[in-house]
């Protein structure tokens, strides 16, 4: 979000990344942007962040109802923490601000701000997928949580399908019989800073790290995966597809290598620890079956890398593997494309279930559950003629430049600035109050904005 805020004065508010028994507020400034941060208490971190945001909402929104671990205590902590955020935001917001709330950690925040008398325009952007209504209503107490988004003037999603699913939920479940209109919900696919990433790719090619990587590869072509260690990313399926490709094409022995980077995330959640063990076993088995004294087919790295090092990996990879089972957008796909050398670009193999598939038509699209299809796509990418690779890359770069991070920001905020509440504010306030367990909503009159207040749960470095 730093890039999105650049060139527009405003305030960024969110979690500091620190956990303390007594949460503190911090303030810093970078150019025209002021960063206001709040710590989480250990109880907030455990119940609000881990047990509800990441063990209930994350799997739900990715369609994994089998992994939802709901508890009322975690939901109550989620509401309490959002209320604490609302109290802090209320102290810094001005009547002519525009408020832009980000992601599933802060679903009830807009309603809580309305309850505290905040009347300026409020937008909400959901970075993750929206499953069908039938999945959303499976969330215990969904009627206490999800309708809170109706307090927003504009809700943004990554894809048109996500927007349709959320509109359907509001129309058929959340607002049915309340007299409220469905809030304005539109798709705003998030972009990247194309020029900066392209420049980073060019610089990486001249770096010592890149030369060392190229030397370690020799004549081998590299396939690359860069993903957080998460069950939504389809990592076991990807490794099994690579194994299948090697079995179908034994002539590739010693000529290819697969570098999978999967930095640890949410290590306190058991599902993630199991995922790491699964990937280590898979990589070991595949290496054991295919490797020889001079060749290791898979390099599995379970750690983080600086952005400069990732640029070097992107630039060196002949094939970029982005095959999540479900993803809101997946910016790695876009970063891989932008990092390529246009004269000799790599090929992107992309899951049809990633939001990026709606824009990157030059990718080889696959169903990540289809092992044979993924194996064939890997082989096709490795053997694709140069001119076809160039054509596909130019097509994708055109899409990236037409909708970069700055365009995404301007499109959302521009639409929010043009948006008005769908019904009279007093009626809207009464309707929101009637549809929730909360009351005493006071809305101030809107006026022209002066700054943007961006609110996100993630620490500012992310």
Q: Do residues 35 and 58 lie in contact, with contact meaning Cβ atoms separated by under 8 Å?
A: no
Contacts of 301 (CB under 8 A, 6+ apart): 259, 260, 261, 262
Instruction: Spell out the SS3 assignment of 175-225.
Output: CCCCCCCCCCEEECCCCCCHHHHHHHHHHHHCCHHHHHHHHHHCCCEEEEE
Question: Beta-carbon neighbour count of residue 333 at 10 Å?
Answer: 30
Indicate which residue of 102, 127, 379, 449 is catalytic: 127
Where residue 218 falls (left for φ over 0; alpha for ψ -120 to 50; beta otherwise) is: left
Is 406 one of the catalytic residues? Answer: no
Catalytic residue among 39, 168, 327, 376: 327
Q: Which residues of 127-165 are buried (b: 16+ CB within 10 A; e: fewer)?
A: bbbbbebebbeebeeeebbbbbbbbbbbbbbbbebbbbb
What is the crossing angle of helices 307-316 and 208-217, to 10°? 40
Of 170, 224, 237, which is closest to residue 372 (Cα–Cα)? 237
Of 452, 450, 445, 442, the closest CA to residue 116 belongs to: 442
**Residue 98 to residue 266: CA distance in whole angstroms:** 32
Residues comprising the chain, all counted: 462
Check if 327 is active-site: yes
Closest CA to 397 of 345, 455, 458, 461: 345
Give the residue among 141, 146, 144 at the shortest CA–CA distance from 126. 146
Helix axes 331-338, 307-316, angle to 10 degrees: 70
Please tell me the distance from the alpha carbon of residue 192 to that of residue 360, in angstroms, as a whole number: 13
Active-site residue list? 127, 327
């Amino acid at each position: 979000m730093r890039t999105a805020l650049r060139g527009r004065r405003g305030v960024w508010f969110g979690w500091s990344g620190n956990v303390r028994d007594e949460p503190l507020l911090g303030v810093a400034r970078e150019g025209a942007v002021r960063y206001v941060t709040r710590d989480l208490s250990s109880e907030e971190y455990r119940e609000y962040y881990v047990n509800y945001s990441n063990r209930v909402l994350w799997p739900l929104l990715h369609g994994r109802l089998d992994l939802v671990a709901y508890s009322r205590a975690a939901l109550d902590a989620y509401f309490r923490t959002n209320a604490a955020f609302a109290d802090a935001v209320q102290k810094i917001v001005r009547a002519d601000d525009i408020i832009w709330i980000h992601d599933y950690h802060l679903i009830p925040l807009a309603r809580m701000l309305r309850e505290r008398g905040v009347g300026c325009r409020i937008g909400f952007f959901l970075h993750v997928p929206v499953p069908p209504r039938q999945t959303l209503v499976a969330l215990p107490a969904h009627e206490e949580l999800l309708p809170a988004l109706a307090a927003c003037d504009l809700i943004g999603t990554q894809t048109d399908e996500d927007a349709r699913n959320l509109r359907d939920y509001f129309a058929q479940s959340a607002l049915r019989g309340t007299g409220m209109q469905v809030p304005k919900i539109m798709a705003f696919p998030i972009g990247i800073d194309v020029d900066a990433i392209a420049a980073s790719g060019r610089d990486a090619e001249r770096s010592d790290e890149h030369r060392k990587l190229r030397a370690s590869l020799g004549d081998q072509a590299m396939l690359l995966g860069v993903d957080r260690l998460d069950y939504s990313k389809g990592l076991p399926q990807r490794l099994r597809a690579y194994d299948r490709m090697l079995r179908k094409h034994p002539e590739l022995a010693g000529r290819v290598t697969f570098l999978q980077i999967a930095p640890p995330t949410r290590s306190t959640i058991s599902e993630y620890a199991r995922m790491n063990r699964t990937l280590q076993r898979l990589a070991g088995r595949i290496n054991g079956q295919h490797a020889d004294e001079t060749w290791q087919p898979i390099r599995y790295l379970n750690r983080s890398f600086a952005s400069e090092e990732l640029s070097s990996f992107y630039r060196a990879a002949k094939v970029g593997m982005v095959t999540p089972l479900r993803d809101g957008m997946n910016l790695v796909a876009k970063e891989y494309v932008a990092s390529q050398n246009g004269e000799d670009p790599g090929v992107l193999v992309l899951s049809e279930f990633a939001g990026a598939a709606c824009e990157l038509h030059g990718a080889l699209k696959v169903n990540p559950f289809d092992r044979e299809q993924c194996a064939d796509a890997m082989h096709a990418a490795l053997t694709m003629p140069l001119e076809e690779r160039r054509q596909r890359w130019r097509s994708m770069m055109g899409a990236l430049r037409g909708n970069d991070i700055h365009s995404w920001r301007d499109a959302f905020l521009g639409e929010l600035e043009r948006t008005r509440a769908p019904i009279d504010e007093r009626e809207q306030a009464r309707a929101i109050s009637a549809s929730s367990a909360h009351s005493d909503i006071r809305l101030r009159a809107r006026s022209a904005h002066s700054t943007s207040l961006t609110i996100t749960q993630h620490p500012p470095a992310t």
